Structure 1
């Protein structure tokens, strides 16, 4: 399998093994924020499809189910519903035929957690013990899924959708609105304890994984997204940082250290597409010729109304943002640059001023109150490097 190496504007975390594999005692030595990370794009041959689930007996509950060929793990089913009922586990089964025809139950899936709206299952057999695979579920037969309200109320279907032979899947799209879920394959040569920790929001995965085993992580904030960055550790040593804010391309085939992304979703873009050469950002540089774009993550503790105005050129952003949301600022003058300064207002009060003329250092890692730059570009320098 060919591997194409590229430079991406993300920091490479230096590997150091820890004598104690506990999280509390691990040794993390991080490269400077303006370092560039060497990563590879490894094309993936595994198939996957995503289907829409529409509301059924309970108004407002809808979402998706992704069926994926998970290699030695069999088939992966990933379900994510909006507006599920907190405190309730919603049972899920795959049935024969089309929804509404009362088809026989074929496969019992793990329930959907009403607190998160997420349910994930790896399987290679039907309930009767016969083998199944990705192609049986998606190309050879018709099936449907209808999550139930609860074990005590199996007659109420909260959402439903057909999968398989005659149901068109949802097309993939570029990352938009932050990543909600990622699946990785571990390419290491020995079993190891893998830990995935968010920049904000804590640990989302922590267990021993075997070579070629696949594992998955899901967003934990109130919008179901991951933090803007995640940190990958092997046996207690941090080995990589991955941007999950959508400020840098991310998709299937993204490979770093001993991990390859084999599936994923973003909040507004749906299933992530395969990466190719055109998705890879150019090498970073210092700001030159005024800023053309900035991505800011809001790190405050509560929802606020944010307005961003240019010194010249007027308002360029005005909406409510939640903690962890990413604000995109795009230059709109005849050279597609921002004004020399932009002003951030929170709940009607000016709180920050950002120099976007390149007269002062600016790039990922620059902090302005509750706002942090996570990506950007300038007219002559292209992609902005991180702050020293």
Structure 2
């Protein structure tokens, strides 16, 4: 939404708009606009049509709506309406508008009430639960060429995207994007690559981090496998009984997103990602883990900062035996001198060579996050097994011990 209140500019714009309405449509000059609000109209149906809808406050109390789009062609007339609800939800017409003239891309309508006779003032526009549709033609109303949310459904420009990484099915990954609406809720869009064309993939927000796991707190509309897309308004869960989520809560929530293979195979997760306070900031530090007592085993330990200051620690080794379970720890001191265990990781799976752990505190309960990892006087040991702790298969200094 764009709103400006500089008097001289508004008066100039008002005179231009009212002059256009008189010259182009034969509407009597209602005087200069006192204020205005503009909303974007985005392209739909690969139409190439997009533009702006501008609401003007007129001196007599009426509202003037000017739709101006590009991409239309001379000889075509495009019906346009204000509908109730958000564009995602859909809804009935509340204000019919003058057709958009394909030759000019313009539609100019003056109104002061809805189809039921309820008054609408300029002050009401920002609070409207509504959207605008521009259609292909009177005979093809089902084809929308341009569309945009208005009023409380408009997007503020604040948004947050989180990665959804590949999980149990190779080749499926993407993002979940949350965009704040004026009403405080969010438009949530899941976009995945690699989904099967005939797939329908349930998706949810779960409490806690993905490593910890937790119950469902919000259900998205399922991901369409043919498009890889799911769009949900967080004002209403797709599952009855779940609470709505506002944008400011989402960006701070202790949660993660799962996308599942199907309703009958919820145990198979095709994409997953932490969100809110568990989301990754992009800051990360990797340390080498060198071969030690078992030839051929080496790798890295990667620490990635979370939004809440904690860290996601991923140990990745090559050469570990299939079926092996390898305890891993941070020890105090450096590897050359040695020292006691201060933090225990999840054991490395020998079959995959992987271990993931959330780093939030030391074994004694002392807070220990990403910033502490970078400064710690420590090193990492990965051991052969719980019964052969003395055999170290990979080892590396971290934090202050690495230049």
Q: What's the TM-score once normalised by structure 2's chain length?
A: 0.33
- Which structure shows the bigger proportion of residues in strand conformation? 2
The structure number with the bigger radius of gyration is 2
What's the TM-score once normalised by structure 1's chain length? 0.34
Q: Which has the higher relative contact order, 1 or 2, with Cα contacts under 8 A spaced 6 or more apart? A: 1
